[in-house]
Structure 1
Amino acid sequence: MSTTPLRLVPVTADNLDAACAISVRPDQQHLVSPVVKSLAEAYVHPDVAWPRLIVDGDEPVGFVMAFLDIAWNPAVDPADIRSGIWRLNISAAHQAKGYGRFAVRAVTDELRRRGTEHAYVTYDTGPGSPEPFYAGLGFRPTGELSGDQVVASAPLT
């Protein structure tokens, strides 16, 4: 990491190409969708998507997208409103340098600022799973599944 503070910045016309160029390692590509898909999802879900480029100095090193205030399962419990990490992509060349931890902490700080009490994330299990990464940041499985992914949460209070 550089001595310049890390920051999250909105994805704009000026940095769109840099955001789309963020790519995880080949062995991780089955675990996380590419940034371009995230941006398409953000476009069609503008009320709940919070996409941000992770920048170190002037260099884009990753992408994170939060989801904000989604009714998790409205047919079962319409009051179960959740926010959390929707997508996290750290460029293959920049992994294991603390950028992912920074991004998750920055998102959870934003959620806390918005009054959220728990952050959520979903992930695949198996070889290469980000489960240990999220567990190290305080996320614990809830016992739920979202499709075939584990749902985990971390308290923000």
Structure 2
Amino acid sequence: MITLREITPDNFRAIIQLSDTLDESQKKSVAPNVVSIAQAYVNLERAWPRAIYLDEEPIGFVMMALQDDDIPEADQPAYFLWRFMIAKPYQNKGYGKQVIDILKQKAIEDGMAYWYVTCTMHDPMPYQFYITCGFEDTHEMDDDEQILKMRLK
């Protein structure tokens, strides 16, 4: 069963080491988990970092921004999927989709109207994954990343 858990002194090292499982192309698409956790620490008011577990095994990392001033006012309230990674040995097994479903449910329960994510386009996989999960292409860019959004209500 997939669960999301807080980052603690007990799982911190394991979550950081998951970044080492990614191939070089994937490392270009997602920041190392240690960087993401540091960003969460300096953005405590808006960052929501979580370890992704399969039963008792840490298999990934996800972080949402619970507020994002770059999201258009018309789409507020909205969450932003800031970081998301699944360790290489656990990819293509449906776990990523389960995490998206858990986070989507959280966003709905928290009363969000939209959910945003951006992704690089040098590898088609993140984009295709998010589209398959229900995000829609806005046809807008944020630096070199495509902006996608999902209507929640």
TM-score with structure 1 length normalisation?
A: 0.88
Distance 1:21 1:64 in 2: 14
Distance 1:22 1:90 in 2: 8
Question: Deviation digits for residues 110-145 of structure 1, max 9, x if unmatched?
Answer: 111110011100001133441000000111111221
- Whether the 8 Å CA contact 2:77–2:114 is kept in 1: the answer is no
**1:107 Cα deviation after fit:** 1.3
- Whether the 8 Å CA contact 1:68–1:84 is kept in 2: the answer is yes
For 1:9, which of 5, 9, 17 is the aligned residue? 5
Identity, % of aligned positions = 32
Query: Is 1:95 matched up with 2:91?
Result: yes
What is the aligned length? 151
Query: Is 1:37 matched up with 2:38?
Result: no
- Whether the 8 Å CA contact 1:72–1:80 is kept in 2: the answer is no
Distance 2:150 2:97 in 1: 14
SS at match of 1:126: coil
**Which 5+ residue runs of structure 1 have no aligned equivalent?**
none
Structure 1 stretches of 4+ with a deviation exceeding 3 A read: 76-82
Question: 1:26–1:122: structure 2 CA closer, same or farther, 3 Å change rule?
Answer: same
Corresponding residue for 2:109? 113
**Which 5+ residue runs of structure 2 have no aligned equivalent?**
none
Query: Is 1:49 matched up with 2:47?
Result: yes
**1:84 Cα deviation after fit:** 2.2
RMSD of Structure 2 on Structure 1 (CA):
1.9
Distance 1:118 1:11 in 2: 26
SS at match of 2:66: strand
Query: Is 1:19 matched up with 2:12?
Result: no
TM-score with structure 2 length normalisation?
A: 0.90
Q: Which amino acid aligns with 1:58?
A: E
SS at match of 1:122: strand
Q: Which is richer in helix? A: 2
SS at match of 1:47: coil
Question: 1:117–1:82: structure 2 CA closer, same or farther, 3 Å change rule?
Answer: closer
Question: 1:6–1:80: structure 2 CA closer, same or farther, 3 Å change rule?
Answer: closer
- Whether the 8 Å CA contact 2:77–2:112 is kept in 1: the answer is no
- Whether the 8 Å CA contact 1:71–1:79 is kept in 2: the answer is no
